[in-house]
Amino acid sequence: MPAALQIAVDAMSGDHGPSVCVPAALNAAKQFTDIGLVLVGREADLRRHLPAQLPANVTCLYAADVVEMTDHPRDALRRKKDSSMRRSLDLVKSGQAHACVSAGNTGALMATAHFVLKMLAGVERPAIIGAIPSHGGQTFMLDLGANASCTPQQLAQFALMGAVVAGDLTGNQRPRVGLLNIGEEDIKGHESVQAAHELIGALPLNYVGFVEGHDIFSDKVDVVVTDGFTGNVALKTMEGLARMIAGTLREEFTRSPIRKLGALAAAPALKALKTRLDPRRYNGASMIGLNGVVIKSHGGADLFAFQRAIELAILEARKGVPSRIAEQIEPVA
Amino acid sequence: MPAALQIAVDAMSGDHGPSVCVPAALNAAKQFTDIGLVLVGREADLRRHLPAQLPANVTCLYAADVVEMTDHPRDALRRKKDSSMRRSLDLVKSGQAHACVSAGNTGALMATAHFVLKMLAGVERPAIIGAIPSHGGQTFMLDLGANASCTPQQLAQFALMGAVVAGDLTGNQRPRVGLLNIGEEDIKGHESVQAAHELIGALPLNYVGFVEGHDIFSDKVDVVVTDGFTGNVALKTMEGLARMIAGTLREEFTRSPIRKLGALAAAPALKALKTRLDPRRYNGASMIGLNGVVIKSHGGADLFAFQRAIELAILEARKGVPSRIAEQIEPVA
Q: B108-130: per-residue pLDDT in tens?
A: 999 999 999 999 999 999 999 99
CA–CA distance, B211 with B4 (Å, rounded to integer):
41
Confidence of residue B45 (pLDDT cuts 50, 70, 90): very high
SS (H, E, C) chain A: CCCCEEEEEECCCCCCCHHHHHHHHHHHHHHCCCEEEEEEECHHHHHHHCCCCCCCCEEEEECCECCCCCCCHHHHHHHCCCEHHHHHHHHHHHCCCCEEEECCCHHHHHHHHHHHHCECCCCCCCEEEEEEEECCEEEEEECCCCCCCCCHHHHHHHHHHHHHHHHHHHCCCCCEEEEECCCCCCCCCCHHHHHHHHHHHCCCCEEEEEECHHHHHCCCCCEEECCHHHHHHHHHHHHHHHHHHHHHHHHHHCCCHHHHHHHHHHHHHHHHHHHHHCHHHHCCEEEECECCEEEECCCCCCHHHHHHHHHHHHHHHHHCHHHHHHHHCCCCC
Confidence of residue B293 (pLDDT cuts 50, 70, 90): very high
Read off φ and ψ for residue B287, nearest 5 degrees: -90, 110
What pLDDT sits at residue B109? 95
Residue A248 is nearest to which of B189, B261, B273, comparing CB atoms?
A: B273
Whether A107 and chain B come into contact, CB under 8 Å, resolves to yes
How far is B284 from chain A, CA to nearest CA, in Å? 18
Q: Which residues does chain B have within 8 Å of residue A182's beta carbon, measured at their own beta carbons?
A: 145, 148, 228-229, 232-233, 236
Res. B2: pLDDT tops 60: no
Under DSSP, the state recorded for B60 is: E
Mean pLDDT of A159-169: 97
Res. A158: pLDDT tops 60: yes
| Bridge partner list, B176 | B206
Whether B274 and chain A come into contact, CB under 8 Å, resolves to no
CA–CA distance, B332 with A187 (Å, rounded to integer):
30
CA-nearest residue to A179 within chain B is B233
CB contact under 8 A, B253 and A262: no
Res. A259: pLDDT tops 90: no
CB contact under 8 A, B213 and A263: no
What pLDDT sits at residue B186? 44
| Bridge partner list, B129 | B142, B286
CA-nearest residue to B74 within chain A is A187
Res. B95: pLDDT tops 70: yes
Res. A3: pLDDT tops 60: no
The pTM score is 0.93
pLDDT digits (tens, 9 = 90+) for A60-73: 999 999 999 889 88
Confidence of residue A189 (pLDDT cuts 50, 70, 90): low
- Which of A187, A239, A244, A254 is the best substitution to test chain B (most B C-beta atoms within 10 A)? A244
Mean pLDDT of chain B: 92
Residue B269 is nearest to which of A107, A253, A268, comparing CB atoms?
A: A253
CB contact under 8 A, A262 and B242: no
Q: Which residues does chain B have within 8 Å of residue A193's beta carbon, measured at their own beta carbons?
A: 148, 229
Whether B78 and chain A come into contact, CB under 8 Å, resolves to no
Beta pairing class for A285-288 and A293-296: antiparallel
Mean pLDDT of A174-187: 81
Confidence of residue B187 (pLDDT cuts 50, 70, 90): low
CB contact under 8 A, A234 and B234: yes
Residue A215 is nearest to which of B183, B216, B240, comparing CB atoms?
A: B240
Residue A41: which residues within 8 A CB-CB, separation 6 or more?
A10, A11, A12, A17, A18, A21, A60, A62, A63, A66, A84
Residue B205: which residues within 8 A CB-CB, separation 6 or more?
B159, B160, B163, B177
CB contact under 8 A, A272 and B252: yes
Task: Sort B121 into a burial class: Cβ within 10 Å, 0-12 / 13-18 / 19+.
Answer: exposed
Residue A182 is nearest to which of B191, B232, B268, comparing CB atoms?
A: B232
CB contact under 8 A, A241 and B241: yes
- Could you give the domains of chain B? 1-123+289-333 (3.40.718.10), 129-280 (3.40.718.10)
How far is A1 from chain B, CA to nearest CA, in Å? 45
pLDDT digits (tens, 9 = 90+) for A282-308: 999 999 999 999 999 999 999 999 999
Under DSSP, the state recorded for B146 is: S
What pLDDT sits at residue B181? 94
Whether A55 and chain B come into contact, CB under 8 Å, resolves to no
CA-nearest residue to B265 within chain A is A262
Task: Sort B103 into a burial class: Cβ within 10 Å, 0-12 / 13-18 / 19+.
Answer: buried
CB contact under 8 A, B243 and A213: no
With CA atoms as reference, report the closest residue to B77 among B126, B102, B103, B114. Answer: B114
Cis omega (within 30 of 0) for bond into A143: yes
**Exposure string (b/e) for B289-317, b if CB count within 10 Å is 16 or more?**
bbbbbbbbbbeebebebbbbbbbbbbbbb
CA–CA distance, A270 with A254 (Å, rounded to integer):
14
CA A162 from chain centre, in angstroms, equals: 12
With CA atoms as reference, report the closest residue to A124 among A99, A156, A100. Answer: A156
With CA atoms as reference, report the closest residue to B121 among B321, B287, B293, B289. Answer: B289
What pLDDT sits at residue A185? 47
pLDDT digits (tens, 9 = 90+) for A99-143: 999 999 999 999 999 999 999 999 999 999 999 999 878 999 999
Cis omega (within 30 of 0) for bond into A186: no
Mean pLDDT of chain A: 92
Quick one: how many helices (H) and strands (E) in chain B? 11, 11
CA–CA distance, A239 with B71 (Å, rounded to integer):
35
Whether A275 and chain B come into contact, CB under 8 Å, resolves to no
Are B315 and B98 a contacting pair, CB within 8 Å?
Answer: no
Res. A311: pLDDT tops 80: yes
Mean pLDDT of A253-270: 86
Residue A214 is nearest to which of B148, B229, B236, comparing CB atoms?
A: B236
Whether B285 and chain A come into contact, CB under 8 Å, resolves to no
Confidence of residue A2 (pLDDT cuts 50, 70, 90): low
**Exposure string (b/e) for A159-193, b if CB count within 10 Å is 16 or more?**
bbbbbbbbbbbeeeeebbbbbbbbbeeeebbbebb
Are A240 and B262 a contacting pair, CB within 8 Å?
Answer: no
What pLDDT sits at residue A1? 44
CA-nearest residue to A247 within chain B is B135
CB contact under 8 A, A187 and B72: yes
CA-nearest residue to A239 within chain B is B214
Lowest mean pLDDT among A187-191, A195-199, B91-95: A187-191
What is the share, in percent, of chain A residues with pLDDT greater than 90?
A: 78
Read off φ and ψ for residue B196, nearest 5 degrees: -65, -40
With CA atoms as reference, report the closest residue to A220 among A157, A136, A153, A326. Answer: A136
Confidence of residue B189 (pLDDT cuts 50, 70, 90): low
CB contact under 8 A, A229 and B276: no
Integer CA distances (angstroms), A252 to A89, A227, A263, B245, B270, in order = 46, 37, 9, 16, 8
CB contact under 8 A, B249 and A273: yes
